[in-house]
Structure 1
Amino acid sequence: MLPPQISDTTTTVDEVRDRTHVTGRATVPTFVRVRTVEWPERDAFIAHLDRLKDARGFRYDVALAEAADVSHSAISNWRSGKQKPSLTAITKLAKALDVNPHDLAARAGVAEGFAQASTPTQLPPELETLLDHYQTTAEPNRRAELLSFVSRVNEWFEGTAPRPSDERTRRAG
């Protein structure tokens, strides 16, 4: 017997039961309940992971999972919010993506297990974007150029920042 053809029409639960010969003991759910974990950094982490994945030439999550020796269903669970990545998984991902595991753990919000995370979890969006550009750029010349711009900004900031002696003279006057 050939399987029924898939159509664009809406199918009711009763029609599914009739077509699949479900007995009275089995039930077909009318909705699906998904368990999620509290993970406020999820969207930012997944976006960053996607940028790193693209920059390193991983087209699919399965390829990244294989390179990192983690389960592809784990990455799927991170995306859906069912699960947070473990420190072990973060370390494996960082190695496969050639990034600092401390930074990746901090972005995922699981940096508690590391002695010190080098990137704070709460940065302004502009600095997050700057870090993303640096981490996702594979070309050494582009990284050097970006660091040169950052160096100029640092010099400007240090040159325009008020000196402690300036504050004392203002208060005295």
Structure 2
Amino acid sequence: MRTVEWPEREAFVAHLDRLKDARGFRYDVALAEAADISHSAISNWRSGKQKPSLAAITKLASALDVSAHDLAARAGVAEGFAQASTPTQLPPELEALLDHYQTAEPNRRAELLSFVARVNEWFEATAPRPAEGRSRRAG
């Protein structure tokens, strides 16, 4: 079997499975149908025979109700994608937080965003402030 160079494959497929499960797609066939892509395309991604195209990523993102930019970045195919940038390697805790957000129901998303807002307020309130106007020594 011929495979393509795709270091992000395992992480992308695992993320796709979490999204698929959270959205109630039991099988790849159902997801492929909802995204209007071929089931064999998903099978080829899983086996490493090919990487997803930007068109397929866009359709998948729509079917899964997630950001196409994020999905393209996770797949490692963001180059050339509108508003895409090189994906940043996040700590595992933030990756998990993003996964929780993307797989949550809308009301749980709101709760999570509220909690993140409180953490952000705490961080800003406790962050050291730069010294305002250093005192000068008379010399």
TM-score by length of 1: 0.72
Q: CA deviation at 1:55?
A: 0.9
5+ residue gaps in structure 2?
none
What is the DSSP-based 3-state SS (H/G/I as helix, E as strand, rest coil) of the residue aligned with 2:24?
coil
How does 1:77-88 map onto structure 2 within 5 Å?
Answer: 77-88=44-55
Q: CA deviation at 1:76?
A: 0.7
Listed one character per residue, the Cα deviations across residues 71-113 of structure 1 (whole Å, up to 9, x for unaligned) are 1111011111111100000001011111111111111111112
Structure having the higher Rg:
1
Q: Is the 8 A contact 1:103 1:119 kept in 2?
A: no
- Which residue pairs with 1:57 in the alignment? 24
Q: CA deviation at 1:119?
A: 8.6
Listed one character per residue, the Cα deviations across residues 36-78 of structure 1 (whole Å, up to 9, x for unaligned) are 1111111111111111101111000011111111111110111
The alignment of Structure 1 onto Structure 2 pairs a total of residues equal to 136
What is the DSSP-based 3-state SS (H/G/I as helix, E as strand, rest coil) of the residue aligned with 1:84?
coil
| Residue identity (%) | 87
The question of 1:165 aligning with 2:135 is answered no
The question of 1:148 aligning with 2:122 is answered no
- Which residue pairs with 1:38 in the alignment? 5
The question of 1:104 aligning with 2:65 is answered no
TM-score by length of 2: 0.88
RMSD: 2.1
- Residue in structure 1 matching 2:99, options 127, 132, 135: 132
Greater relative contact order (CA < 8 Å, ≥ 6 in sequence): 2
